[in-house]
Amino acid sequence: MFKRLPLEEHTTACLTIAFVTAVTIFFGFAWRALRMSRAQVDRFAQLPFAPETSDQPAAPDPAANPTTPRT
């Protein structure tokens, strides 16, 4: 009834290659993080977070929404 996809026999190989690639990248990052010098770790620890801006929307006022039941 349904025809088989022509790539069906390659599905396992493609999934295995994708998994191995993802694991290799993960362990590459982990290896690099573990081999960082103490000075570099301290420098990264001192990096500032993004500054807060006033562009953030304020919390909604429950009194401004008439459909919200007041308690």
Per-residue pLDDT of the chain (71 residues; tens, 9 = 90+): 456 656 667 888 889 999 999 999 999 999 999 999 999 999 988 988 777 666 656 666 666 666 656 66
Specify the DSSP element, H or E, that contains 20: helix 11-34
- In the chain, the number of structural domains is 1
Residue 62 contacts residue 68 (beta carbons within 8 Å): yes
d(CA 22, CA 30): 12
Q: What is the pTM of this model?
A: 0.52
pLDDT, residue 31, reads: 97
Residue 39 lies in a domain: yes
- Residue 37 · residue 45 · CB < 8 Å: no
Query: b/e string for 15-26 if b means 16 or more Cβ within 10 A?
Result: eeeeeeeeeeee
Average pLDDT over the chain reads 80
Residues above pLDDT 90, as percent of the chain: 41
Expressed as residue numbers, the domain containing 40 is: 11-46
Does any domain span residue 54? no
Q: Is residue 23 in a domain?
A: yes
